[in-house]
């Protein structure tokens, strides 16, 4: 199986598992298809610590330097252009404000928050706003429950298990 010629996707590899408009399978860009689709009720949401699992698998130290390396891995020039260094700094400044760099738990919380926002929450908010603007009834939730006995052997990799550490 060969990739479609002249198809451009995120070079950093961060967005492989999302719909990509290529003019082949999808006849129009997603936003147009969503605008034209029949109106419906939509229920969607996130979990409170959406980035927790991803941070556990990322293997970055739960330190200020680890947070910076985490940002460096995610915010690449190929996706963000020549401003990528400025964007990295703004992200670090925003998420790490008022955090004592020696407090590894707080640093880990902010890594989880950032990755959840980056990978899930921002896209979910954009989707719910668009679908609402297009006349759909949107019901949004944030799931806060966690099972302290969950995650099996992966629980040892998590910086914390949920809101109630």
Q: What is the torsion angle, in degrees rounded to the nearest 10, for the CA atoms of residue 34, residue 36, residue 41 and residue 42? A: 0
Tell me what pLDDT residue 112 has: 87
Residue 163 forms part of a structural domain: no
Q: Give me the mean pLDDT over the 85-93 stretch.
A: 95
Residue 95 forms part of a structural domain: yes
Number of independent structural domains in the chain: 1
Give dist(CA 115, CA 42) in Å, integer. 25
- Any idea what the Cα angle at residue 75 is, between residues 104 and 154, rounded to 5°? 45
What digits encode the pLDDT tens for the residues 55-81? 776 677 778 898 899 889 888 888 888
Residue 164 forms part of a structural domain: no
Residue 25 forms part of a structural domain: no
Tell me what pLDDT residue 61 has: 79
Residue 165 forms part of a structural domain: no
DSSP state, residue 149? T
Residue 16 forms part of a structural domain: no
What range defines the domain where residue 86 resides? 37-157
Residue 17 forms part of a structural domain: no
What value does the mean pLDDT of the chain take? 81
Residue 6 forms part of a structural domain: no
Structure confidence at residue 1 as a pLDDT band (50, 70, 90): very low
């Amino acid at each position: 199986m060969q990739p479609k010629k002249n198809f451009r996707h995120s070079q950093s590899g961060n967005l492989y598992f999302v719909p990509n408009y290529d003019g082949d399978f999808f006849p129009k860009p997603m936003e147009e298809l969503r605008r034209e689709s029949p109106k419906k009720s939509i229920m969607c949401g996130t979990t409170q610590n959406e980035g927790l699992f991803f941070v556990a698998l990322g293997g970055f130290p739960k330190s200020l330097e680890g947070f910076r390396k985490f940002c460096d891995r995610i915010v690449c020039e190929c996706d963000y252009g020549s401003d990528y260094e400025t964007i990295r700094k703004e992200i670090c400044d925003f998420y790490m404000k008022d955090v004592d760099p020696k407090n590894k738990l707080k640093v880990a919380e902010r890594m989880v928050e950032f990755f959840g926002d980056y990978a899930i929450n921002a896209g979910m908010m954009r989707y719910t706003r668009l679908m609402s603007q297009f006349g759909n009834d949107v019901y949004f939730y944030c799931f806060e429950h966690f099972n302290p006995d969950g995650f099996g052997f992966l629980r040892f990799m998590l910086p914390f298990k949920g809101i109630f550490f």
